[in-house]
Amino acid sequence: MPRGNYQQQGFEARQVIDIDVSVIVTEYRAQVLVDESGNRFVAKFPEHVSRPIQYGSTVKAQSVYMSQYQLTPYARIGDYFENHANLTISQGSLYNFNLEAYKTLESFESICKKQLIQSSRVNSDETGINIGGKRHWLHTACNDLWTHFFPHKKRGKEAMDDIGVLPKFKGVLCHDHWKSYYQYDCSHSLCNAHHLRELEWSAEEDRKKWAGKMQSFLVKLNKKVEKCGGKLSSKQQSYYRKQYDILLVAADIECPSPDVQKRSRCQPKPKKTKSRNLLERLISYKDDVLRFITREDVPFTNNQGENDLRMTKVQQKISGCFRSEEGALIFCRVRAFLITCRKHGVDEGKALKDLFQGKLPDFVNKAELGE
């Protein structure tokens, strides 16, 4: 350091952020009194302290979060607690934590279903899952604020009726054109992400010019709707519907139905191509394809439903399958709760800790009261 006179000019600061995982043991003592007759009286312990030694809400919350949200297998969760906190927890205890959360969330599931039934829009989707080596289906009904999952042996209407959301729903149902959805008495909106993929195949593989034009039309129309705040005016809707019809007329000429194609009597009736089937869907379900231009709450795609289901595929890749139906039910209810918490801006870890202390998040309680 050079010599000379110096003046204090404050300081420079640097910070190091770290964590320290440790076990905290809290001992509760209940006073014991004995009267002159030898009768013994013991003060009450807190309601959540029911055993001589038990795991606390933070341990349970971390375990369930790692298992049901981060999809960590039980063996690895046990390793984490043992290596980082010197805490040995059996896989049976880890499972019991999940089971406790599942049972405590029964009222949440009921409230969630009611909120979806009363909402103006629901996104629905389903994906295959493996339970005990057998094919099942995981169904979802969701929107921007609520998510419900349920596993079922069936994929179609029987399963949806058993779940109980769609039979009572009267808003707009967004889906990917699975025919079972059309058996419900509500408005429908088709996923245009599926249409864009099919149109791309038709344009590139089947060499259909109309498909490329329709693909560009839908993409530009979606941008127009976004620019207009999520909904077009009546005049704009009329204009774009006419443009849609013009494209379909040209498409019908380029890709005619086999019924109008000339053939000799001995020739069998040709099958409809993928491009023709797509075209007929766009014709027959025009209102459902264009539903997103008429209402702000109806999206261009069914990505909400697909995104909520996506991590299920990761769970299946990690674990291979659910060992039991009970395990699948636990996963569906607890994960739906955690996704719903995130949608409401509630920290999942805190929500789980409160859950194990007997408290549900405020948004659930308010929904139950109709607020």
Q: What pLDDT score does 73 carry? A: 93
Give me the CATH topology for the region 60-191+302-371: Nucleotidyltransferase; domain 5 (3.30.420)
The residue-averaged pLDDT of 305-323 equals: 87
Residue type, 184: Y
The residue-averaged pLDDT of 73-77 equals: 94
| Structure confidence by residue, pLDDT tens digits, 81-92 | 999 989 999 999
> In a 3-state reduction of DSSP, which class is residue 149?
strand
Q: What pLDDT score does 141 carry? A: 97
Q: Is residue 124 very low, low, confident or very high in pLDDT (cuts 50, 70, 90)? A: very high
Its pTM stands at 0.89
| Structure confidence by residue, pLDDT tens digits, 184-239 | 999 999 999 999 999 999 999 999 999 999 999 999 999 999 999 999 999 999 99
Helix spans in 105-167 (H): 106-118, 157-163
The residue-averaged pLDDT of 288-314 equals: 94
Residue type, 358: G
To the nearest whole number, what is the mean pLDDT of the chain? 93
Q: Is residue 22 very low, low, confident or very high in pLDDT (cuts 50, 70, 90)? A: confident
| Structure confidence by residue, pLDDT tens digits, 125-161 | 999 999 998 999 999 999 999 999 999 999 999 999 9
% pLDDT > 90, the chain: 84
Q: How far does Cα 53 stand from its chain's mean position?
A: 37
Q: Which residue ranges make up each domain of the chain? A: 60-191+302-371, 198-258+272-290
Q: What pLDDT score does 371 carry? A: 78
